Structure 1
Amino acid sequence: MDPNSPAPGSALADAGVAGNARLTSTTGMVLLALLAVEGLTVLSVRSMITLHVFLGMLLIGPVLLKTGSTAYRFARYYAGARPYVAKGPPHVLLRLLGPLVIVSSLMLFGTGVALLAVKPSDPGLLLQAHKASFLIWFAVMTVHVLGHLKEAFLTTWRELRSVIHGHPTQGRGLRLALIVLALVFGVVAAGALLPTASPWTTGATGRANR
């Protein structure tokens, strides 16, 4: 064995760091595309409430996956795992915003799901909490996206390029499977919960047609 070559364990650890970055970035770009469409529904939420609710449910899977991959990276970093320490943390501002992104996302989607259980005529404080959490989420996500967009785009492009050209990449199959499973989970959740939203969708459609 070449004494200058990295130990097998070290190579696997480095591949794990790169794989985690590719999973986080690719999931983030998928989320960005879906959120862009969801954002359009906000502009006319009454007339597009069905699509708004469906996409909101669909997003839950990718949001949980990205939260998990990000949390794993930070857990490994603060546990002192050498490859993750060597990669280093994000910029201090983005690091501070990380928990706010997670908490505001959970609040936004949590209140959104909870709204399906109440009547549109009497949403109580849930609707106000949903709107307030959206404003907080939008503010922190804007900074978060701008801070990570370039790196996420380039990392995702490298992942896609390896698929297009057939270059083997360690763990790629698992990463793609996790993203597909997250999307399938979201579709199943949306299909299961959308009938529950009928008081909202039916009422909004009726008002939009008046």
Structure 2
Amino acid sequence: MQNRKEFYADDNKRFPIERNKRMTAIAGTVLFVLIIAELVITANLAALRSEHIFVGVLLAGPLVVKMCSTGYRFFRYYTKSPEFVRAGPPNILLRLLAPFLVVITILVFISGFGLVLGGHAHEELFIKIHAVSVTLWLPLLAVHIYAYIRKASGLIANDWTGKSKYRVPGREGRLGINVAAIIMSGIAAIIMTPWKAGEGDHGIPSPLIVGIMAAVIAVLIFKLLLRKTNNKPQL
């Protein structure tokens, strides 16, 4: 049986990984809500183009937080930090998908910002890149969300209800970082969004339709493969 000092020592060893998990969970949940809003807006893109741009820019803040948080864990794991090594890597399927998700996500945002800031000179090129990258992004994103959403919501609930098995300090700091990221990206969104009247509804954009169909198929395939690997995703 552990004595009191050993108990606290074990808790202290877990603090870095537990803080990282919760930071990632908060940023991921904010992204999830904003992405759902963006998809709903995109379904009527012709009429809601300004809103699409606004939410797209707003997404950048929490996205940076999440990528920094997951990148930090990646760095600590592969530099053999003991607490991160003990926590283990994500499921092998998610590790294989992760580089593609990161690259495609960057393409989605670069092409989106290019459309907003680039003027008409390269508009056609950015539209093509944005359409293709979104189509590829949605199935990768759907798999990622399916793998982590339940665990992320549990971590957030534990962090704010006081029922967590581990006492993890820094709750207010984690929230503050995410709020600050949203505020900064919100300011950028206000500045960058050209508020114009919509042009009417011309139907759901085809990249969105294809992307959602691919997302459903991707999740079904992932569920099947996950059963075969018999390995639950780690956050």
| TM-score normalised by L of structure 1 | 0.86
Displacement of 1:63: 0.4
Per the alignment, in what secondary structure is the counterpart of residue 116 of structure 1? helix
RMSD of the alignment, in Å? Answer: 2.6
Distance across 1 between alignment mates of 2:66 and 2:88: 19
Distance 1:12 1:24, change over 3 A: same
Q: 2:211 is matched with which residue?
A: none
Per the alignment, in what secondary structure is the counterpart of residue 191 of structure 1? helix
Per the alignment, in what secondary structure is the counterpart of residue 137 of structure 1? helix
Identical positions, percent: 27
Aligned partner letter, 1:145: I
Aligned partner letter, 2:179: V
Question: Is 2:94 the partner of 1:56?
Answer: no
Q: 1:5 is matched with which residue?
A: 6
Equivalence map 1:152-163=2 (5 Å): 152-162=152-162
Q: 1:19·1:170 contact (CA, 8 Å) conserved in 2?
A: yes
Aligned partner letter, 1:84: F
Distance across 1 between alignment mates of 2:60 and 2:159: 23
Distance across 2 between alignment mates of 1:120 and 1:42: 21
Q: Deviations over 1:60-84 (max 9, x none)?
A: 0000100000000011011101111
Displacement of 1:50: 1.2
Query: Following TM superposition, where does structure 1 have runs of at least 4 consecutive aligned residues deviating by more than 6 angstroms?
Result: none
Equivalence map 1:140-159=2 (5 Å): 140-159=140-159
Aligned partner letter, 1:179: N
Distance 1:94 1:208, change over 3 A: same
Q: 1:189 is matched with which residue?
A: 188
Q: 2:44 is matched with which residue?
A: 44
Distance 1:87 1:209, change over 3 A: closer
Aligned partner letter, 2:191: A
Q: 1:108·1:134 contact (CA, 8 Å) conserved in 2?
A: yes
Distance across 2 between alignment mates of 1:182 and 1:78: 27
Distance across 1 between alignment mates of 2:139 and 2:200: 29
Displacement of 1:6: 4.9
Q: Deviations over 1:96-141 (max 9, x none)?
A: 1112221111110111011013446972211010010101110110
> How many residue pairs are counted as aligned between the two chains?
199
Aligned partner letter, 1:208: G
Distance across 1 between alignment mates of 2:4 and 2:26: 35
Q: 1:162·1:169 contact (CA, 8 Å) conserved in 2?
A: no
Q: 2:218 is matched with which residue?
A: none
Distance across 1 between alignment mates of 2:64 and 2:150: 22
Displacement of 1:23: 0.6
Distance 1:76 1:209, change over 3 A: closer
Distance across 1 between alignment mates of 2:122 and 2:24: 39
Distance 1:103 1:121, change over 3 A: closer
Q: Structure 2 unaligned runs (5+)? A: 203-235
Aligned partner letter, 1:182: A
Q: Structure 1 unaligned runs (5+)? A: none
| TM-score normalised by L of structure 2 | 0.77
Distance across 2 between alignment mates of 1:64 and 1:122: 26
Distance across 2 between alignment mates of 1:192 and 1:55: 12
Q: 1:102 is matched with which residue?
A: 102
